[in-house]
Structure 1
Amino acid sequence: MKHTDELIFWFDQPPKVSLGAFNYVVEQWGCNVIYVIDHQLGAHRKLIGWDETSFPGVNIVMLDEQENQTKCIEQIFQLHPNAIHIVNGFFSNIERKIRKYILHRGLKLGFMSERPTILKYDSSIKQMIKNHLLPFKYKLAYRRYKSDVRFVLPLGLEGKHEFESFGWPKDKLYNFMYCPVLAELCTQTSNQHIEGIRFLYVGRFVKKRLATVMESVERLKGEKWSLELVGGYGADAKEIINWCNRTKNVSFGGTWPADEVGKKMQDYDVYLLATQYDGWNAQINEAIHAGLGVITTDEAVSDELISASGSGIVVQAKDDNAFYQAMQNVVEHPEIVLTWKIKAKEYRKKIHGNTVGQYLIDILDYTFYDKKNKPQCPWL
């Protein structure tokens, strides 16, 4: 299908976690694509090798480099009157800056959004009040944009259900994902036997994210397992590294460059993620692509990939005993991991950037180019 409209994506920061899909869209679209980015990546992202320049075929506008941001934004809308606009976040910095230019203007407009940050397991008064108010805030966004927005891309099936509860009609909702660029993997023969389970965690070193893993490790019975924690940045990094150094079968693996994570993951068996909240944890994408099994919680959002593929186990967040039992079961029955690995490898094409990118193109074609048949999510 021939595309005659330019695409303009509006981001708070460079879209590293989505580039696998977006690079494919740019390559296939056949018309001008622009990324308008509010600000550079944070220091902790740069520490792990995220760069801001690898956007092949895209025109980049960095707002934090402009002398007059308002004038720059106005010129973008003036110079590209027929463009399709995709805005990242209903309450993002970039949305606030362009709100008056996209409301009631008859634009070809869509949004991509994580679910609201409702922390179910934080019992502080401040968080409880915030949790109570967030649905009203997102219902306000629906009332504000319902006549202007042609489609919404909530992250995950869970995000889609939440946006339905805010008022968005099903025919405008397409569950989406963060889809990073996935590494070219080494050719490896499938393991036929596992001598000892190699557990892995990659990410920020914060107790909220790692407490369940650490407690589970301290309870594990048996000797044929190891755990490597990779990252080394985060509020509790020093404490967690010290824990690694004094805990049997556990090691600190340093910091891996972001672009090497997928390849390095191939040396392990099971990825661990005991998150209490995520918008979409893209490390699970990387783990599946690398052929690992995954033990995670139902607050990762990307846990839907594990449920759909059968390449691991999903437990309830904050059920520390269930997480421990999952790890212990793997240690006692390592043959489970061989099955998980096979299923991960069979499934990974469904989350490749080409697959997810084509899904986005199909959504745009259906919405703006009269393509027949509403696109269906390819990974569920």
Structure 2
Amino acid sequence: MTLIFWQNIISPHQLPYIKEICNVFPDIKVLLVVEKQMAEHRKLMGWKTEAVQQRDGFKIVVNPNATQIKSLFEHNPIAQHFFSGIRANPMVLQAFKQSLNYKVKRHLIVEGPTFYKRPRVLHLIKTFIKEKKYFNKINKVYAIGNEAKLWYETWGFSSNNIVPFSYCVEKTKSTNEVSKNLDYVPKLLFVGSLIKLKGLNQFLTVLNKLPYKVVFDIVGEGIEKENLKKIACNTTKHDIRFLGSKSNSETRRLMCEYDCLVLPSLYDGWGAVINEALMSGLFVLCSSNCGAQQLIIDKFNGIVFSHKKKNDTYNALKYCIKNIEHIRDNKTAIKDWSTCIEGTTLAKYFVSALHTEQSITPPWKVINSNKI
């Protein structure tokens, strides 16, 4: 069997499971076809794809022309194809349209639409005009986040053909030890772009109402930075620090020094920083607008709060402060649990879902009661 992935970049949030497929299943060959190595705006955010070792079962093709795309179909007549970003990326869309000339199986790996930019009705109209004609050509949808699942159910895909899926990040290269913060003051961390959609304005306003001191470090840059600094200056109670932009490797090293990750997004298709935090043993406070909320097991590895519920953010913060010792003691258990979202585990789940016509439970929903 050959699996061909069509993507815009070598994504550090998909590469870990893709390259593991042929390790777990030696009889499967994997091709990753991308338009470019990495997008410039992602580089500015600290994204970096480490040097990837290609081998007999795993190859990468960068920036193929029309002839090369056609050749990939002709030389792999029974391959299965996985498309990420046919709405946004011309090369991926070109490859998808080329695939229609061949009797191959097509699948999507996709987030849901972004309703914050346009109302749902406009997405429905656009999808009906531009995409619906292709839906009967798609075998399975690997849905990143619950919004994606609900969206494709709206268009008639059965639950058996929608696979709840997750982005995936590399394991940390640190030892198995987790660092326990011995200070009395809880340490919270945010990592991401400093834009309105990340919800930091609202979160800082709530944080300022908290009668307990915390350290809150903010990693990232963006147009909202000065506004956020002004809000932060209104409190003398908390130690709020802006650490600027850091590479992903620097951020991963930093994470073990904290107790909780905060991601209060007003919209986030997934939020892979949640994966990174859980794999470092951090407790996660995230909004219900984050796709990665589906990884959170209430009060074991985090809390999901809603911006729409009065005092919900405040109560989540209060729980974190009041139970900080338990959260710190639970770091190793959270990190152990996170093996369910590592590349090897997701590679097994990915292929298992491909081979069955039945719904299967995602690994992060298979809860080991001995760990929780």
TM-score by length of 2: 0.85
Alpha-carbon spacing, 1:194–1:350, altered in 2? closer, same or farther (3 Å): farther
CA contact (8 A) 2:185 2:215 kept: yes
Q: How does 1:367-378 map to 2 (within 5 A)?
A: 375-378=360-363
CA contact (8 A) 1:8 1:86 kept: yes
* 1:208 partner SS: helix
Choose which of 103, 107, 128 in structure 2 pairs with 1:106. Answer: 103
Choose which of 72, 76, 85 in structure 2 pairs with 1:89. Answer: 85
Match in the other structure for 1:370: none
CA contact (8 A) 1:186 1:263 kept: no
Match in the other structure for 1:118: 115
Task: Give the aligned residue type for 1:144.
Answer: K
Choose which of 15, 21, 42 in structure 2 pairs with 1:19. Answer: 15
**Structure 1 residue 96 displacement after superposition:** 2.3
Which one has a larger percent helix, Structure 1 or Structure 2?
Answer: 1
Alpha-carbon spacing, 1:53–1:342, altered in 2? closer, same or farther (3 Å): closer
Choose which of 248, 262, 277 in structure 2 pairs with 1:258. Answer: 248
CA contact (8 A) 1:114 1:155 kept: yes
Q: How does 1:314-353 map to 2 (within 5 A)?
A: 314-319=304-309, 321-338=311-328, 341=331, 343-353=333-343
Cα distance per residue 1:257-286 (max 9 Å; x no partner): 212433321110011111111111111111
Q: CA RMSD in A?
A: 2.8
**Structure 1 residue 247 displacement after superposition:** 5.2
CA contact (8 A) 2:111 2:144 kept: yes
**Structure 1 residue 230 displacement after superposition:** 0.9
Say whether residues 1:365 and 2:355 are aligned partners: yes
Q: Bigger CA drift: 337-346 or 293-302?
A: 337-346
Cα distance per residue 1:203-240 (max 9 Å; x no partner): 111133111222122222123x2111112x22223444
**Structure 1 residue 90 displacement after superposition:** 4.1
Task: Give the aligned residue type for 2:240.
Answer: V
**Structure 1 residue 350 displacement after superposition:** 1.3
Give the distance between the partners of 2:47 and 2:335, measured in 1 at CA. Answer: 26
CA contact (8 A) 1:213 1:272 kept: no
Give the distance between the partners of 1:279 and 1:46, measured in 2 at CA. Answer: 19
Alpha-carbon spacing, 1:49–1:157, altered in 2? closer, same or farther (3 Å): closer
Cα distance per residue 1:151-198 (max 9 Å; x no partner): 110113442233112211222111111011121333436749761110
Q: How does 1:72-221 map to 2 (within 5 A)?
A: 72-93=68-89, 94-103=91-100, 105-119=102-116, 127=117, 130-138=119-127, 143-188=132-177, 191=180, 195-209=184-198, 210-221=200-211
Q: Bigger CA drift: 288-297 or 334-343?
A: 334-343
Choose which of 208, 218, 225 in structure 2 pairs with 1:237. Answer: 225
Choose which of 303, 315, 318 in structure 2 pairs with 1:313. Answer: 303
Identity of aligned residues (%): 25
Give the distance between the partners of 1:349 and 1:327, measured in 2 at CA. Answer: 26
Gapped regions of structure 2 (runs ≥ 5):
366-372
Task: Give the aligned residue type for 1:378.
Answer: P
Gapped regions of structure 1 (runs ≥ 5):
120-126, 368-372
Give the distance between the partners of 1:309 and 1:150, measured in 2 at CA. Answer: 37
Alpha-carbon spacing, 1:205–1:152, altered in 2? closer, same or farther (3 Å): same
Choose which of 273, 283, 287 in structure 1 pairs with 2:273. Answer: 283
Give the distance between the partners of 2:43 and 2:180, measured in 1 at CA. Answer: 35
Cα distance per residue 1:327-368 (max 9 Å; x no partner): 13433443452465355234212112111111112123337x
Choose which of 22, 33, 42 in structure 2 pairs with 1:36. Answer: 33
Task: Give the aligned residue type for 1:101.
Answer: Q
CA contact (8 A) 2:81 2:107 kept: yes
Give the distance between the partners of 1:308 and 1:325, measured in 2 at CA. Answer: 13
Q: Bigger CA drift: 135-144 or 358-367?
A: 135-144
Give the distance between the partners of 1:362 and 1:208, measured in 2 at CA. Answer: 35
Give the distance between the partners of 1:131 and 1:258, measured in 2 at CA. Answer: 34
TM-score by length of 1: 0.84
Q: Bigger CA drift: 8-17 or 184-193?
A: 184-193
**Structure 1 residue 18 displacement after superposition:** 1.4
- How many equivalent pairs are there? 357
Alpha-carbon spacing, 1:29–1:142, altered in 2? closer, same or farther (3 Å): farther
Task: Give the aligned residue type for 2:155.
Answer: F
* 1:323 partner SS: helix
Match in the other structure for 1:123: none
